[in-house]
Structures are given as structure tokens and as C-alpha cells.
Structure 1
């Protein structure tokens, strides 16, 4: 009987050891909070875990916070995959935090505009253009703004909101005004002159908060704003009559982007997770959660999403800014904005 008990104990120990050895690897993903995190945890992560026999740990934070995590953990990274806005992603890649992407068939289905670098790839498109109040323009009988130059029109005095330069939407507006005046990222002076002298008098408030921007529309305080297509779609989903305009010079592409992080303990799973987010059905879920248009050309959006998001022919109306020029200058531009624009 004693031998039987010993044998049972040894078998139990062996089974426990085997179970421990079979425990799935842990893949740590850094990405946005809010509706994105909810969507990831409810829909994306459980299916990926089952398919790849891996446990996903999710670390939520905005792009600035997750970029700071990469910098703080240099040489001993906690994150295996990171999802950031395009500007911070260019920084992360330039600082050497992104590992080379594997060449896989699904990446051939991604628009050229979303092909960031050999180490990072776009996950979804958001367009920076104009969100507007349909009710206001119908009541006034005014034509809709069609150009970035319309931000200067005196009839909009006190009726516009533009996010500050600390917000990507405001930065995009500054660059487009500079380009229209013959400058651009490498010659931003014309943009500052236009924003300070011609646009600023029309601006009720330089509002960085998406929640407060929504309130400005709902309270009837502004007619239109520089904003993202996803934000406009979210506002419309509340029942407010919001529309979105792609300016004739081009709406600016603001992309969600992903990269596998260097020195990951689970590099294969990290690569697989990037590819998983590029699948057409996941691209639809990203659109529903983040208001982002698909980067995979084979994605078919439901009609309601297709109407409001960058999709199909609308992709051709998107333009990119040069983050390699902007990022080293952004702190200097932010200080200048405070002196010259929001003075």
C-alpha cells in the first residue's frame, strides 16, 4: 500500500510538472485604453489565445505613455508588441525599439500608405479633416468648407475649434496651412503665420479634449472643427448630426500602427499578433471600436461604417506628413505655438 501511495505521489508530481511545462507563453501587448482595450479583451485576445496557445497580457495607455514605457525599459522590455499613433511609432522605430517584421502574405494586402518601415506597419486609418454640424450649416444656408484655407474665412469668427499642436490634429492643420502657403514640414514659418494671424481670430477655443470638443458641438458653440474622422463618427453615433469633410488638398492620415518589440521572449507570437490584427474581420472590429478605416485592401466594411470612415476611394484622399522632420522639432514648435498662436 505504501508503494502504491508513493507511485501515486510520483505520478501526481509528474502530471503537475507536465502541466506546468505546458503552460502557454505570455505575450505582453501595449495599446490604447477605452473602447480599444474593451474590444481587444472581449473579441480579439480570446480568439488569438485559443488559436496560438498563448496568454496575452494587455497593458493600456496612450501612445505617449507606451512610448515612455519602451524608453524606461530599454534593454529589458516588458512589452512584446506595441500599438501607437503614427508619430510616436516613428519615434519608437527610430530609437530602435521595433524588431524587423516578417514577410508574410497578409502584408501584401496592406495599402502602400500604411507600409511604415521594415519594422512597423499601419493597423488602421483615421483622417484629419473637418468635423461639422449639419444642423448649423443647414440653418445658415452656407456652403460647407472644402479647403484648409476655409479656416481663415472671417464669417467663421468665433465658430471654429482647432486642437493645439500638442494634439496630432492641430499639428496636421499647421502643416497643411504651411504647405498651402508654399512651405511645409521643412519650412513651417508660413503655417505659424497663417495660424496666428488668419485662423486664430476665428477660433473659439484651442481644445485638446475630445470630450469637450463634443460638448462644444452639442451646445451649439462651434460650427466646425479640425478633428478626426473617427471622432466625428463617434459624435454622430450619439445622435448628434455630425458630418466629416475631406479637404480638397487632402485629409491627413493619422494611423494606428503596430510593431514587434526588440528582444521579445516570444518573437513568433509577437509577429503572429501583428498579422492577426491585419485580418479583414479584425479590421472591421477595429473600425467599430476606434473609428479607423481598414489598411487591408480586402476588408469589406458594413455600409454605415463605410460611409463615415476612410475606406475605398477615400484612402486616395489621404496625405502623409513627414514625421522624420517633425519629431526632432516638435518640442520647439510647441513652445513657439504657445508664444505665437495661443498668446
Structure 2
């Protein structure tokens, strides 16, 4: 057999397939990012991740799922993690941190520009990449036609004139949990005493609720069909519905809107420790933050971001707005959440 005649084509095939050079081998390195599916996946994969992949010569494998599902993945992979970076809602993220599933966020210059609100939970092992405000949404046209003033307080959820026109998501949804926390604080309660909040919701709010819907797509439908005219919802969802021309508006209650953060963490024991930190820093950069604000309705956590006026008006933006938000002690809330959920079932949605 003529070895050289046989070997040459084989080597040529290896080179053409990208298997023979260190540079090409590096391009085949993979970094696994777990985050939401749907529009978030599209924005990240189309507008934010390609630049990082090109700059670092890495392929990002996207693991789509809800925060709950991706938290379960992190737990299942604890002893042999495949996911390198995770993006979760702040509540589940705090669980991940408390379970030791997240590594410390490495020091970087971009962190100097991040609002303290985004660093408040996580103990240095996670950080916020987007801010949504939970407040009160309402149909502005109906309110105008009825001669009703816009709501101003969390206590307005108990107004009898909204009987059958109101939605408050169940406590299994973060918006519903935020409602309980906000009303409990307004009524004088705290994490160790939730009685004031439960008593107000059960007696003053629940009797007027048309739906304890948890699906944001369903809440949108209920507003559009006129089945509800006021409810607790997030600023990003309200902005999306308003963009269709529907006359929905949102108020931040005078006691403060609740902060719901999208958060990111470098997963513990990743085999790509440098790249995972660099990806986190890339998503925190002003350029990425601007994209997330414009296309996802996430308020920037980076104070150096500049936004077009129409976008700035639709998200939680700027130091003054961020300062008005009420943050959640997620470690404390997570310790209570199971009992609160049982109590909600017994007393609120009975």
C-alpha cells in the first residue's frame, strides 16, 4: 500500500474539517449558558452572544428553561456541572447561591458601575443584569371613561369599585409574592410576622379578584378582552402590551414598587472559570444592557447606560428611579415561602 498516497488526503480532510490546528480546536470550546427561552433566548443569541463568541473563539451552547427548571438542572449537576453561567429570577437565584451552586463573581471594572440594588442579594456570588418593577397596571381608557383617578397605593387594590375587575397573580408567581410582601410592609408586618399582609389580602383584596392568573400571556389577554381593568404586573410586561397600542399604564405605588431582578451567576466548579466571568462581564456591559432594555424591557443595572427617551420612559432607568424600588430579602423570603404558599391556599384562594 502507498501510505503517503493514502495519508495525504486524510490529513487534508482533517485540516479542512478544522481538526488539525490549535486555533480551530479552541474555536470548538463550548461555554454553556442556562437562561430563559422565548424572546430572551432570541435577543441573547441574535444580538449579544455572537460578539462574545467571535471575540473569545468559543461556542456558546444555550440551555433554555424557566428559572425553576434551570435551578433543578444546577442541582442535578452539582457533582459534575455542565452549565457554566446561569441567568435566573432573583428568588430562585438566591436559592442557588444558598445551596452553594454559584461561584464568587470576580472583581472587574464594570462592577463599579453597577447599582447597589443589583448587588444586594447573592452575597457576592450573583448579580443583577436587569430590573423589572412590580407595580399596579390599569386600563387608562376605562379609568378615564369612569372618571377614576389613577391608583397611587398598594392599598388601592382593596377598593370595592374594582370588584370583579381586578387580577392579583397567585403567590406561586413572583408578582403575587411581591403583592403579599408589599401589603404586609404597608400594614406594619415583616418577614417574621406576615399576619397583617394576609389579613388585608384575604379580607380586602381577594373578594374583588376576578382571577389569580399566573400566566403573563393570559393576564395580557384578560386586559385586552376587558375582563380585568387593573392588576399587579411587571413593568416589562406592561411596556410590551402598551407597544401594541393598548391603553395600559403602570403606576409605582407611593410606598414603592417592588424590584424584580434578572440575575446572573458563574456556576461553581466550572471548567471554564475565566470565560464564565468574561461572559458575565459582557452581559453587564453598557452595550449589552442597552440591548436588553430596548428589546426585553429590562431596566439596566449598569449606571453608565444611555437609552433613547421612549425606551427610558418604559423601563426602570436611572439612579432616581432605581432608588424608589423596594428590594426583597430573598434569603429570608425563601425560608418562609413554603409556609406562605400553604397559607395563601387556605386563606386567600379558598
Q: What TM-score do the two structures reach when normalised by structure 1?
A: 0.96
- In structure 2, list runs of 5 or more residues that go unmatched: none
State the Cα distance separating 1:290 from its structure 2 match: 2.4
Give the corresponding residue for 1:329. 336
Counterpart pick for 1:112 among 100, 104, 116: 116
SS at match of 1:131: strand
**Contact 1:149–1:177, Cα closer than 8 Å, also in 2:** yes
* Counterpart Cα distance in 1 of 2:132 and 2:83: 25
Give the corresponding residue for 2:103. 99
**Contact 1:185–1:321, Cα closer than 8 Å, also in 2:** no
State the Cα distance separating 1:181 from its structure 2 match: 1.2
Give the corresponding residue for 2:43. 39
SS at match of 2:178: helix
Change (3 A) 1:65 1:10: closer
SS at match of 1:258: strand
**Contact 1:25–1:55, Cα closer than 8 Å, also in 2:** yes
Stretches of 4+ aligned residues off by more than 6 angstroms: none
RMSD: 1.8
**Contact 1:48–1:273, Cα closer than 8 Å, also in 2:** yes
* Counterpart Cα distance in 1 of 2:200 and 2:25: 63
**Contact 1:176–1:184, Cα closer than 8 Å, also in 2:** no
The answer to whether 1:18 aligns with 2:21 is: yes
SS at match of 1:265: coil
Give the corresponding residue for 2:225. 219
**Contact 2:129–2:263, Cα closer than 8 Å, also in 1:** yes
Measured against aligned partners, the alpha-carbon deviations of 1:267-305 in whole angstroms (never above 9, x if no partner) come to 111000100001112112112332110000010111111
Counterpart pick for 1:210 among 209, 212, 216: 216
Measured against aligned partners, the alpha-carbon deviations of 1:88-140 in whole angstroms (never above 9, x if no partner) come to 01000000000111100001000000013311100000000011111111111
Counterpart pick for 1:308 among 314, 337, 340: 314
* Counterpart Cα distance in 2 of 1:25 and 1:309: 36
- In structure 1, list runs of 5 or more residues that go unmatched: none
State the Cα distance separating 1:8 from its structure 2 match: 3.6
Counterpart pick for 2:67 among 56, 59, 63: 63
* Counterpart Cα distance in 2 of 1:70 and 1:2: 53
Give the corresponding residue for 2:56. 52
* Counterpart Cα distance in 2 of 1:11 and 1:282: 41
Number of residue-to-residue matches in the alignment: 343
SS at match of 2:44: helix
* Counterpart Cα distance in 1 of 2:181 and 2:26: 53
**Contact 2:163–2:207, Cα closer than 8 Å, also in 1:** yes
